[in-house]
């Protein structure tokens, strides 16, 4: 049985084709600059990688080429081999509490919820429509980023603002990266052979969120109404005092959208360091001979790790103790200095790192020492596989 996982952006389409018998990726790739000059696609299969320039006016063009290539490159014999298509969908508000078969109602809801994810929901719809056109008889499943967080209770998801904002306009915490956090919870539970775990899942990439999980269910998460909230990120500020917005508008002569844009794109590691949004650059700048550069990198690194520590500490209390802390995504899986600093900050909880094990990059590994009160693991995330597994379950 073969299933394609799709992540459609406004000008891109990522795919992974899985053989569900062994849950392995047979082919994967990316269609880029759809609807923009200079479009191209990359397909990886059998240890090979092909990159080709092609005219991709619409997402449907990308899907047609993708399916054609899967056959002509002999990755599959015919399109009949594709049993299902799973789509990563971003915002399902409080209506979608789990993955579901994609119907007209789902598509209409994605459009209706577009103000909640203006960049993502319309792009997700383009991806669905393209597959509907080219593979009309293959069942499709939608896997929402927000769904996993729907188990949060009122105390977690309400903001202390006029209740009317929530009732009339849906102003509440939704949370994101849900598919990744769910994958982490499932994987660590399987590896440790226990379902009743209190987990703190730290998905820290360019965007990042920390989630408190109990018995496989989300209890609280750091992102909020939008992905701007929570920990400091590559270019996003994370939590700030909202009064800053009107103050900076007045001081800089900007409008509210422009200030929010700066909080999304010019803040975080990039904004504070004035060097880069990439942790690798920050870590290497901390070793620089240039004292000023070193100081800039250091303040960004310390603030970043402080905000992650703060959420872990909050969720430790919320969960009434923690059975396991997991690190995942770009920094979580790869950045030794980032994990080291966060774990040092947690020393008072009895967290102790095994510095040799902490050198790991992109592999499942326990990185805490045996006498650490809380075991700490690196768990590589796999949102594509999670989407394929949900698809398999719902079409079977
Ligand atoms: P996204 O949120 O866009 O999916 P990723 O999870 O791929 O992002 O994370 C990308 C970020 O991870 C980079 O910006 C970089 O800061 C960090 N990163 C990736 N590899 C490394 C590495 N080897 N060492 C330190 N940081 C890394």
127 and 18 both lie in a single domain = yes
**Residue 279 CA to ligand 1 centre (angstroms):** 7
CA 108 to chain centre: 24
Same domain? For 226 and 347 the reply is yes
- Residue 208 belongs to a domain: yes
Residues 129 and 235 in one domain: no
Pairing of strands 140-144, 82-89: parallel
Residue 78: how many other CB atoms lie within 10 Å: 8
Q: Do residues 350 and 247 both lie within one domain?
A: yes
Centre of ligand 1 from the C-alpha of residue 339, in Å: 13
Tokens of 335: 């950045």
Residue 188 placed within a domain: no
From the list 61, 109, 145, 323, the catalytic residue is 145
Residue-wise pLDDT tens digits, 266-323: 999 999 999 999 999 999 999 999 999 999 999 999 999 999 999 999 999 999 999 9
The reply to whether 169 falls in a domain is: no
Indicate whether 211 and 271 sit together in one domain.
yes
Residues 140, 222 share a domain: no
- The reported pLDDT for the residue numbered 29 is 97
Question: 174 in a domain, yes or no?
Answer: no
Tell me, yes or no, if 104 is annotated catalytic: no
Nearest CA to ligand 1 atom 14: 278
pLDDT tens-digit series, residues 170-195? 999 999 999 999 999 999 999 999 99
Q: Say if residue 304 is in the same domain as residue 364.
A: yes
Q: What residue numbers bound the domain in which 312 lies?
A: 193-378
Q: Does the residue 182 lie in any domain?
A: no
**What's the CATH number where 56 sits?**
3.30.420.40
Measure the CA–CA gap between 192 and 300, rounded to whole angstroms.
35
Specify the number of domains making up the chain.
2
What the block records as the tokens of 165 is 């904002």
Q: For residue 314, what pLDDT is reported?
A: 98
Q: Kindly report the protein residue whose alpha carbon is nearest to atom 19 of ligand 1.
A: 330
Helices and strands counted in the chain (H then E): 14, 14
Q: Is residue 151 part of a domain?
A: no
Residue 386: per-residue pLDDT = 98
Look at residue 385 in the predicted model and tell me its pLDDT: 98
pLDDT at 77: 96
> Which of 257, 281, 256 is closest to 331 using CA atoms?
281
Please give the number of the atom of ligand 1 that sits closest to the Cα of 283.
25
Q: Supply the pLDDT for residue 18.
A: 98
**Domain assignment of residue 172, yes or no:** no
Closest ligand 1 atom, residue 277 Cα: 14
Q: Are residues 280 and 197 in the same domain?
A: yes
Helix (H, G, I), strand (E, B) or coil at 56: coil
Domain match, 92 and 203 both: no
Verify that 237 and 352 share a domain, yes or no. Answer: yes
Query: Which of the residues in the chain have pLDDT under 50?
Result: none
DSSP three-state, residue 242: coil
Ligand 1 lining (C-beta closer than 6 Å)? 205-207, 234, 278-280, 329-331, 334-335
Q: Which residue among 201, 205, 340 has the greatest number of ligand 1 atoms within 8 angstroms of its CB, and so is best to mutate?
A: 205
Query: What separation in Å is there between the alpha carbon of 236 and the centre of ligand 1?
Result: 14
- Atom 23 of ligand 1, residue of closest alpha carbon: 334
347-376 per-position pLDDT tens digit: 999 999 999 999 999 999 999 999 999 999
Residues 226 and 353 in one domain: yes
* Distance from residue 366's CA to the centre of ligand 1 (Å): 20
Closest atom of ligand 1 to 208 CA is: 2
- The answer on 132 and 20 residing in a single domain is yes
> Is residue 306 a part of any domain in this protein?
yes
DSSP track, 118-169: TTTHHHHHHHHHHHHHHSTTS-EEEEETTGGGGG--HHHH--SS-HHHHHHH
- pTM for the model: 0.96
């Amino acid at each position: 049985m073969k299933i394609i996982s799709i992540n459609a952006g406004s000008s891109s389409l990522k795919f992974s084709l899985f053989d569900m018998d062994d849950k392995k990726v047979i082919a994967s790739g990316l269609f880029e600059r759809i609807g923009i000059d200079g479009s191209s696609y990359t397909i990886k299969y059998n240890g090979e990688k092909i990159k080709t320039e092609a005219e991709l006016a619409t997402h449907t063009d990308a899907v047609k080429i993708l399916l054609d290539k899967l056959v002509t490159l002999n990755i599959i014999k015919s399109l009949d081999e594709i049993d299902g298509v799973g789509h990563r969908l971003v915002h399902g508000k409080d209506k979608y509490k789990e993955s579901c078969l994609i119907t007209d109602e789902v598509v209409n809801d994605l459009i209706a919820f577009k103000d909640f994810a203006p960049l993502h929901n319309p792009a997700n719809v383009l991806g669905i429509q393209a597959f509907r056109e080219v593979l009309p008889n293959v069942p499709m499943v939608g896997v929402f980023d927000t769904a996993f967080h729907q188990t949060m209770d009122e105390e977690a998801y309400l903001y202390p603002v006029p209740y009317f904002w929530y009732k009339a306009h849906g102003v509440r915490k939704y949370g994101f990266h849900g598919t990744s956090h769910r994958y982490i919870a499932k994987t660590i539970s399987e590896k440790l052979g226990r379902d009743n775990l209190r987990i703190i899942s730290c998905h820290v990439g360019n965007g990042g969120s920390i989630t408190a999980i109990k018995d496989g269910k989300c209890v609280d998460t750091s992102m909020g109404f939008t992905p701007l909230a929570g920990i400091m990120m590559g270019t996003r500020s994370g939590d700030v005092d909202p009064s800053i917005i009107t103050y900076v508008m007045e001081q800089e002569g900007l409008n509210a959208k422009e200030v929010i844009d700066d909080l999304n794109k010019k803040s975080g590691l990039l904004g504070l360091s004035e060097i880069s949004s990439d942790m690798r650059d920050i870590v290497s700048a901390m070793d620089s001979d240039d004292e000023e550069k070193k100081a800039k990198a250091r303040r960004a690194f310390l603030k970043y790790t402080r905000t992650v520590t703060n959420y872990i500490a909050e969720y430790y209390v919320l969960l009434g103790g923690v059975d396991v802390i997991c690190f995942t995504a770009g920094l979580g899986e790869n950045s030794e200095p980032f994990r080291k600093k966060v774990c040092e900050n947690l020393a008072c909880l009895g967290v102790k790192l095994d510095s040799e094990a902490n050198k790991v990059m992109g592999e499942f590994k326990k990185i805490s020492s045996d006498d650490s009160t809380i075991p700490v693991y690196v768990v590589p995330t796999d949102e594509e596989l999670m989407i394929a597994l949900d698809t398999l379950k719902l079409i079977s």
